[in-house]
Amino acid sequence: MISGDWMEAAAVVRRLREYVTACGNGAAAARAIGISPQYLSDILSGYRAPSERVCHRLGLRRMVVYVVSGKSATTN
């Protein structure tokens, strides 16, 4: 069970965009976080998920959640 506040991926990206704006630009934000500008761009474009380092800078904790869809991947 997940307790506390949670955010969808799109909300995390919005928060990251706000952080980039506060830093002045993507290069400055990437430098402040300690990641490459390309990795930052990949996160903002939805190609990659934010790392623990990025989440920590945004005041978040990363958790992966899997939800049962009702369909089984295996046949017994």
What would the mean pLDDT of 28-36 be, rounded to a whole number?
A: 98
pLDDT at 6: 84
Q: 3-state SS of the chain: helix, strand, coil percent to 5? A: 50, 0, 50
- pLDDT, tens only, 39-71: 999 999 999 999 999 999 999 998 888 888 877
Q: Is residue 31 part of a domain?
A: yes
Q: Is residue 40 part of a domain?
A: yes
pLDDT at 52: 95
Number of domains observed in the structure of the chain: 1
Domain with 22 in it: 9-57
Residues 19, 60: Cα–Cα separation, whole Å: 13
Can you give the pTM of this predicted structure? Answer: 0.80
Q: Is residue 72 part of a domain?
A: no
Q: Is residue 19 part of a domain?
A: yes
Burial of 17-35, coded b for 16+ CB within 10 Å and e otherwise, reads eebbeeeeebeebbeebeb
pLDDT at 4: 67
Q: Is residue 16 part of a domain?
A: yes
Q: Is residue 3 part of a domain?
A: no
Q: Is residue 28 part of a domain?
A: yes
Q: Is residue 42 part of a domain?
A: yes
